Amino acid sequence: MIIEIAWKNVWRNKVRSLIVIAAMTIGVFAGVFSIAVMNSSVVQRIDSAVNEELSHIQINNKDFRSSNDINDFIPDLDTLFEKILTTEGVEDATGRIIVQAMASTARKSTGVMLVGIDPEKERHIFTLGEKVIPGTGGFFQGETKYNTAYIGEKLAKELNIVRYMMDDEAFNKMSESDIPQEVILKLEQFRGVRFVSEKKLKAELRNVLSHKEFRQYSGQVFSSAWSYREGSRIVFTFVDCEGNQTGATFRITGIFRTNNDMFETSSVFVPYDELCSLTGIEPGNYHRIIARLTDNDITDRVTREVRAALPSLEVLNWKEISPDLAMLADFMQQIYALFMIIILAALAFGIVNTMLMAVLERTREIGMLAAIGMNRKKIFAMIMTESVFLSVIGGISGMIVGMVIIAVTSRNGINLVNYSEGMEAIGYSVNLFPVIDPLFFTITACLIILTGIISSVYPARKALKLNPVEALRGEK
């Protein structure tokens, strides 16, 4: 009965209740959604760090990281692999050799890390192969005959392997895109021109296009003009096992695009066998073992176990290799908590305010109820139930709206292309796919209800303090 009366009381002042509920809906939705958006960039960043760049755990000799000594191989590989693979939570592991090199083309050169991998094996463990820009080669599909290399787009641009051709094909692509005809006409003067770098094309575009046009369409112009000569070559020079300067020409059979420019410029992947024979490394030796785990959440535990099993080696997980990333994840947790506290506090004030009003304007009625024998417990319960109804309706509808919008936006992502340069340079995706942990949702739901309960205590106590005689005397 109490529940029924409380429910009806909620709808006594429909407008007021709906306003409170709407305010709570918006508040909860805004909070949950902004957390989901913030979370998405962190989750994506960690995802690519783990899946493409670092893997979960890396193992190498204790001083390899600082010396990069080409002869510093991990000993006793058979027992080591057995120990790693039998650790619970380790999905798979593979070895790499890493050689410092200088990459040069006819125009430029830059220092890189040559990573010798077994493409067939790594294809199953990591998703780096999926990051290939379509049409740039098949490094992970077996195009590894002789000297082939898989390089990042950023490096390709730096070495002028990727260029920007305003050829007929580019103009065809542009007219198929949603670039307006008048913008294309302005670009007509560049037909047939080849730009060696994005920077040069960008400078020209800035000259001929208005600020707004540039902002809106430059991305599409770049991708239309993007061109790469299949089979372009890079010369890598490095020091071999014996300490002799040596080098070789590599054919590019794949350009990958990630969100991390640093990683794209510094890492070049080449077939393990080729790198062994070029450097004179005895096949079967590795500088580093990388292991993939079944779940990111168990990283700390598995790291401890592997480290205990391999005391003579350096065992580091991605959080230790990239402490900034781990710190960011922790920091974001605190930001989320702060966000939630703010939302819940606003929610609490809304409920306290509304319920206090409801109690005060019903003074006589509550006095009457107490007079005819409704006991304190029941009056208290009635007011509490009213508040809980309000907060639950508001909170849950906010979460539903949030969930729906997160579901919709996470399908297509939220494009932040206008801010892309700054974000990609430090490894963040420009396309955000809001994600939220189901556990977070459950916790939020519980917290909202708890907030509703806690914030109704004060108005409910206020109702108890009413003296029925005085409340009723007011009636004259």
Q: Which residues bind another protein (CB under 8 A)?
A: 1, 5, 8-9, 12, 364-365, 367-376, 378, 468-469, 472-473, 475
Q: How far is CA 275 from the centre of its chain?
A: 33
Nearer to another protein, 10 or 179 (CB): 10
Nearer to another protein, 145 or 473 (CB): 473
* Shortest spacing between CB 457 and another protein, in angstroms: 19
* Shortest spacing between CB 384 and another protein, in angstroms: 17
Spatial separation of the C-alpha atoms in residues 382 and 6, rounded to whole Å: 5
C-alpha to C-alpha distances, 37 to 30, 50, 260, nearest whole angstrom: 10, 20, 19
The counts of H helices and E strands in the chain are 20, 14
Spatial separation of the C-alpha atoms in residues 267 and 252, rounded to whole Å: 13
Q: Token pair of 25, please?
A: 């809906």
Spatial separation of the C-alpha atoms in residues 345 and 447, rounded to whole Å: 11
C-alpha to C-alpha distances, 199 to 95, 164, 165, 204, nearest whole angstrom: 38, 10, 13, 9
* Shortest spacing between CB 374 and another protein, in angstroms: 6
Nearer to another protein, 12 or 461 (CB): 12
* Shortest spacing between CB 468 and another protein, in angstroms: 6
* Shortest spacing between CB 453 and another protein, in angstroms: 22
C-alpha to C-alpha distances, 349 to 48, 354, 356, nearest whole angstrom: 41, 8, 10
Nearer to another protein, 55 or 354 (CB): 354
Nearer to another protein, 304 or 461 (CB): 461
Nearer to another protein, 167 or 365 (CB): 365
* Shortest spacing between CB 366 and another protein, in angstroms: 10
* Shortest spacing between CB 178 and another protein, in angstroms: 57
* Shortest spacing between CB 391 and another protein, in angstroms: 20
Residue linked to tokens 């999926």:
130
Spatial separation of the C-alpha atoms in residues 332 and 416, rounded to whole Å: 20
Nearer to another protein, 16 or 251 (CB): 16
Nearer to another protein, 367 or 395 (CB): 367
Nearer to another protein, 374 or 416 (CB): 374
* Shortest spacing between CB 13 and another protein, in angstroms: 11
Spatial separation of the C-alpha atoms in residues 455 and 363, rounded to whole Å: 19
Q: CA geometry: angle at 103 spanning 151 and 228, to 5°?
A: 45
3-state secondary structure of 470: helix
